[in-house]
Structures are given as C-alpha cells and as structure tokens.
Amino acid sequence: MIPPTPYLPMSQLARKSHLPHRNLWLGLLGALLLSSPAHAHPHSLSDRPERPEQDYSTVEPDDRAIAATGAATLLEDIEIKDEGFILHTRGQQAQFDLKPSSDRSWVSIDLPGVSLSPELARRTLNVERWGVERLQVIQLSSTPPMTRVTLSLDESAPNWQARSNGSGQVLVWPEGSAPPNLARGQSGLIRIEGVELSEDGSRVTIKADGPIAYTSNWDRHTSAYMLTIYSAELAWQGSLTRPNSDSPVLWVRGSQEDPETVAIRILPAAGAQIGNITQNGDREISLQLSRGPTPSNLPNANNRPPIPTAPPAEKPSSVPQVPQTRLAIVIDPGHGGRDPGAVGIGGLQEKDVVLDISEKVAQILEQNGVTVVMTRQDDRTLDLAPRTQLANRVNADLFVSIHANAVAGKRPEVNGLETFYYSSGRELAGYIQNSMIQSFNTMPNRGVKQARFYVLRHTRMPAVLVETGFVTGRDDSRILADPAQRSRMAEAIARGILNYVRDRR
C-alpha cells in the first residue's frame, strides 16, 4: 500500500496551466497534490472539461523517457469488458492501490512505478455502464512514475474491487460479481496436450495439464463416441487412424468446439464395444474399447452409451442408494490457488478444508451412481464465472458449493453450520443443513438462509452454498482441522443430497 494521496482532477489543472517548463509544472502539481483538501472530488468542481480527450493526459508520456528506463512498467491498455475493466501492463509486476472517496463518488486505482503508454493516453475510453460517468487515466509524475485510473461514479454505482492476476493484468470490477474474463489460457482452462491410441487400437488416452472434467455421449453427426471436455483448449493437433485392421477404433479426432470446450471423437469399428473410461491421476483419462462378437453391437445414435462406472469401494452403510437414471451434480470447492478463502485458527485455510470435504462428497456420490463434476480438483485459482459456466454447460441437476466460514476480529466463540440458497435451492439446502446438524449435534444450527451469492444466482439448477463451520471458531476449527471429522462432514453433506434426490423421485 502507498500512503493516501488526495485526489485532484488533473485535467483541470492541465488545461489551466500555462507554465512553460514541465519540471516546474510537475513540481507545482506535487505541491498542489499535497495541499489539496482530501474531500475534493470531480463533483465538487463545476468546471468540467468539454472535450473528452483532455480527460486522459496530464504529463505527456514520452516514448524516449520510457525507453530510457529499462525497468519501467507501462500501462498499455485498458480493456472494457462485460464484467469490468482489465488494466494491461507490460514490464515488472504492477502493484496497485484502490481507494474509494469517502462519499463514494469516485474510485482511484493508483499504479506506483507505472508509466502511461502514449498510445493509451491519446485514446478515448467510453464506459457507459455500472454508473461510471467518466474514466480518466493520468500519469501523476514521471520520476518515479505513477499512473492513476479514476472512475467518476453516479449514485447507482456499485463498490469496486481490484486484483492483480500475477501476469501483468489488474482486474477491476464491481463487488458481488465475477471478475472480467481474460483471454484463453489465462482463465483457468486446461490444455489437452495429447491423445494416444494403444498399439492394438483398444485404448484411447487423453492427456491434459490439469484436471479433466468431461461428459460422454454419441455424436449424431459422425456416429462417433464423443468425450466433451469442459474448460479446456486443444493443444493437440491432428487425428489418429487405426493401427491395424483388427483395431476396435477406426479413427480419433480432436476439435475445439467453442473457446472453452474440446471434443474428442472416437469412431468404433463395426461391432466394437465402448468400455469404461478410467481416470489415471487427474490429468489423464483413458477409454477402453473391445472388438465385439457380433455386428449387432454397432453403435447408433439411439443407443444410450455405456456409463463409466466408479471404482469399487466400500459404501458407507448410512448413505441411501440412488438407483434409476443417472444424475449429474457439480461439486464446487470454494476458493483455491492464490485465494485461500478464510484463514482461521492455527493458519487453517478454507481452500484446503473445503477441497478435502468436496473430494469426499464426490466419492460418496459416485459410489451411489451419481455423475460428479468438480469445478476444481486441486489447489488452483478459479474465478466464480467458470464455476457456474461449467455447471450450466454440463446441464447439471444440482450445484453444491462447499465453503467454510470466518468472522472478523478475534471471536472464537462464533461457531456453527449454515446453508445458503438463492432461489430453487431452498429445499436442497434444508436437506443438507438437517443432515449436517444430525451428524454434528454439538455445532450451533445457524439455519438455512437466502443470499445473493454469485454462484447461486448464475446457476440454472437448484444451487446451494454450504458453510461447514468457522475456521475462526474455537470448536469448529478443531472439527475442520481433523481429517476424520471432515469425512463425517462429507458423509453428512452427501447424505443430505442423496435424501433430497430420493424424495424428489
């Protein structure tokens, strides 16, 4: 953080200044900045610039000056997206300091050590949304460089937040919504790096650089068996043909179906049978095929493809069985990667606790015939939008986001379980909450509540957000730190889900 600087609309000064020498002018600016009252903001000045171009430059950025300082960081572009702004910088990692004015009529994002690109300084940026009346970019000083982005806001404007993504972008977006999406490869997509066919042609292996979330079905257009892989980009170019005439596979082809979806199509030979899909670690899946005895097994578009079965495992006896048609449930472990979520007693991190519980919930659901898609299976940074997009794309029946709670200040006496819904998830929330309270009858019941969480509002299926206790709570943190108790918690959540499913049939 840098010390707070009182705001002054620099364009006003620039326009009125007739000082001939830039350094003198800068010195005066500095003095004015320091003496300017902290409450000054654009709305207090009636004299606004008439020409929008004048909003964007005070110190005229100089290409030569930038080239001379090798270590300089440059603000190259401000991208206006549907979700907010992306400040693109080049050079060293940009720090930022976002400060709202006390009357909330403007927000400044200061970028110490950052120069303003001359090209950007000349551009006019039209925002016209989120209650942003004007967006100004100005370079406050050149030695050391300091660039400021200012949003002038009307009364309807939301609060703003910013985050550096560690690769040269600062994301700026309204609170309570998802941050702007970056281009492919920076937004948590996995890369499909290779597809291999075994020597006898009976096994197709897909390799990625991250956890693979997929569904499988028959493709009506090609009569091929298709694995649809979500939040993925195809780095493997090409196709494979059968290695010999006995191969149960005729060909394998990969394609990028849309910017976030990859399809791998596998055309079986006449009579070949599709076997299980197995997961070899979380970055590799294999589809087994075999030559069938008769041509009657020829796949056609009306066939329901065989369903990959979960590995055999001991089923917890207290969990009800769910037969009949297969459900798809998205389990969403909160936070991850650079976002630890709540951090509690003994450094207990929400992202670790909820990943462990989520994996156990998924395992129990799979043992009960449910197809589970997890939004993350490792400690990775994942925005909110990809989580809900995944759930919507796989057409999940239910969405369950798993979190742990925290309370501000040192208040270890705050403990308990609560479950949130926004609209259609109310009943499911009740089942899960009841089940958790049954298993953990010493934990306070904070009840089922309605909340406008992003993941609850942007999912098209019944969706809930489970708070599995307080990592900051004296009692809860002991439970959440204990792997055996986390297993019990997972079992309670899974039982709630399965009871809900059973009662709804």
Residue ranges in contact with Zn ion by CB under 5 A: 334, 341, 403
Q: What are the beta bridge partners of residue 449?
A: 420
The pair of three-digit structure tokens given for residue 253, joined into one six-digit string: 């082809």
For 323, counting Cβ atoms within 10 Å of its Cβ (0-12 exposed, 13-18 middle, 19+ buried), the class is exposed
> In terms of CB distance, is 145 or 334 closer to Zn ion?
334
How far from chain centre, in Å, is Cα 316?
32
CB of 403 to Zn ion, least distance (A): 3
Cα–Cα distance between 105 and 100 in angstroms, integer? 8
SS percent in the chain: helix, strand, coil, step 5: 25, 35, 45
User: Strand runs (DSSP E) across 312-455, as ranges?
Assistant: 328-333, 371-374, 398-405, 417-421, 445-450
86 or 406: whose CB is closer to Zn ion? 406
Shortest distance, CB of residue 455 to Zn ion, whole angstroms? 10
CB of 342 to Zn ion, least distance (A): 6
Question: Which CB atom, from 96 or from 453, has the smaller least distance to Zn ion?
Answer: 453
Alpha carbons 294 and 292: distance in angstroms, whole number: 6
Residue whose CB is less far from Zn ion, 328 or 343:
343
Nearest to 417 by CA among 400, 433, 401, 399: 433
Amino acid at 317: S
Rounded to a whole number of angstroms, the minimum distance from the CB of residue 375 to Zn ion is 13
CB nearer to Zn ion: give 437 or 465. 465
Q: How many helices (H) and strands (E) does the chain have?
A: 10, 25
Residue number with the smallest Cβ distance to Zn ion: 403
CB 425, min distance to Zn ion, A: 16
Nearest residue (CB) to Zn ion, 139 versus 177: 177
CB atoms within 10 A of CB 272: 23
H/E stretch holding 366 reads: helix 350-367
Closest separation between CB of residue 440 and Zn ion, Å?
19
Nearer to Zn ion, 207 or 335 (CB): 335
Minimum CB–partner distance for residue 345 and Zn ion (Å): 16
Nearer to Zn ion by Cβ, of 206 and 404: the residue is 404
Q: What is the 3-state secondary structure (H, E, C) of 17-75?
A: CCCCCHHHHHHHHHHHHHHCCCCCCHHHCCCCCCCHHHHCCCCCCCHHHHHHCCCCEEE
Enter the DSSP assignment of 101.
-
Q: How far is the CB of 404 from Zn ion (least distance, A)?
A: 6
CA dist list (Å): 123 to 38, 48, 110, 362:
29, 19, 19, 50
Has 467 been annotated as catalytic?
yes
DSSP string over 134-184: EEEEEEEEETTEEEEEEEEE-TT---EEEEE-SSSEEEEEETTSPPPPPPT
Cis bond upstream, residue 293 (ω within 30) = no
Helix, strand or coil, per DSSP, at residue 212: coil
Catalytic-labelled residue, pool 260, 366, 467, 491:
467
**Residues annotated catalytic, as ranges:** 467
